[in-house]
Structure 1
Amino acid sequence: MARYTGPACKLCRREGMKLFLKGERCFKDKCAFDRRPFPPGQHGRMRNKPPIGYAAQLREKEKVKRIYGVLEKQFRKYYEMASRKKGVTGELLLQFLERRLDNVVYRLGFATSRRQARQLVNHGHILVDGRKVDIPSYLVKEGQVIEVKEKSRKIPSIEESIKTAKGRGIPEWLELKPEEFKGVVKSLPKRADITLDINEQLIIELYSK
């Protein structure tokens, strides 16, 4: 299955919550979800029953995949990694997703959306411990320093994003140094650091069948 390239706002409406896929637009009055908070399509207004059973598990998985911009094969790989590790599988799954470099770039405020962050990483604008890393799925470790390459610091979208980063909120497990276009991974993310409405247990139940 190829990566989705259609209207991002339709995904928020389909999942019944803001996935923050459009950056700053999601915080403004133009947000499509605020104007039409029902599923897209001819019969969207009539779909008011919450899914149950398998349908609920499938919707939760699709929602999380869309939030982090991950396709099925890679998402399954994260589940298998989490299931082999000691600890709560659902929380470990979310931890792996949070540790992705594109997500960390977004969380630090270098980009206003994960899609934009993925593009910055792909184009070589991001350094990890002083070395260029252009793999969005790279998993950051505790103590690593994430920064914008010096030549890239004058890119308007990065400058604007940094200015509004603190207003959007920086997670406790990360530290931002805006003047230096730099961030530090203070610790690995905990479940409490992920404030989005996610029920990871439904995903584990789906994959455990």
Structure 2
Amino acid sequence: MCLGGAAAGALSLALPQSALAGAQIEEPLIDSVRTALSSAIQNKAPPIPEFGDTEARMAYLRWLGAMSERLKKKLTDWPTRKEFLQTVWYESRRSGLDVSLVLGLVQVESNFRKFAVSSAGARGYMQVMPFWTRVIGDSDPSKLFHMQTNLRFGCVILRHYLDREKGDLFMTLGRYNGSRGRSPYPDAVFANQRVWAFKDRED
């Protein structure tokens, strides 16, 4: 499935010239929150989509085809692109997040670079700060360069911030980026979220 001219133009306009990665700020967590986040991170379930019926599976495959076309210039290898999209879809849904929001955030944070490292030390696709591996992981920050680990940490952390901000996405994104209350980062993510939005022809 190919993008139309207008959508392709929007994609090129929304691509940041350099990643706007910031840094999540380490904050104290109460024991129950720490335990819940740690449990969410440690679930080793593989990111394999499961569907209740054929139509749900077909809708997913249409989404996968559309997103693959849009992402082709960033991730040229089909197996890598498929694994990335399948994992983003799985981890977004697992955390109750809109997959287009997560894709928009990945674009702004790392521009889809697996081994991106910010000046603050944030790592990988979703630019997760290494302190999170100590707080809720196994204290091995090198794992943040593993695709599923990075996307799982990023989605779990984003969900945590969304809950803390009582559903306010603007403040959530600012907290994720370490720029809470300032508009450039949330605005950039929202702009890229629109690029990754998917309207199923069957809707």
TM-score by length of 1: 0.31
Which of the pair is proportionally richer in strand? 1
Report the structure, 1 or 2, having the larger helix content: 2
Which is bigger in relative contact order (C-alpha 8 A, separation at least 6)?
2
TM-score (norm 2): 0.31
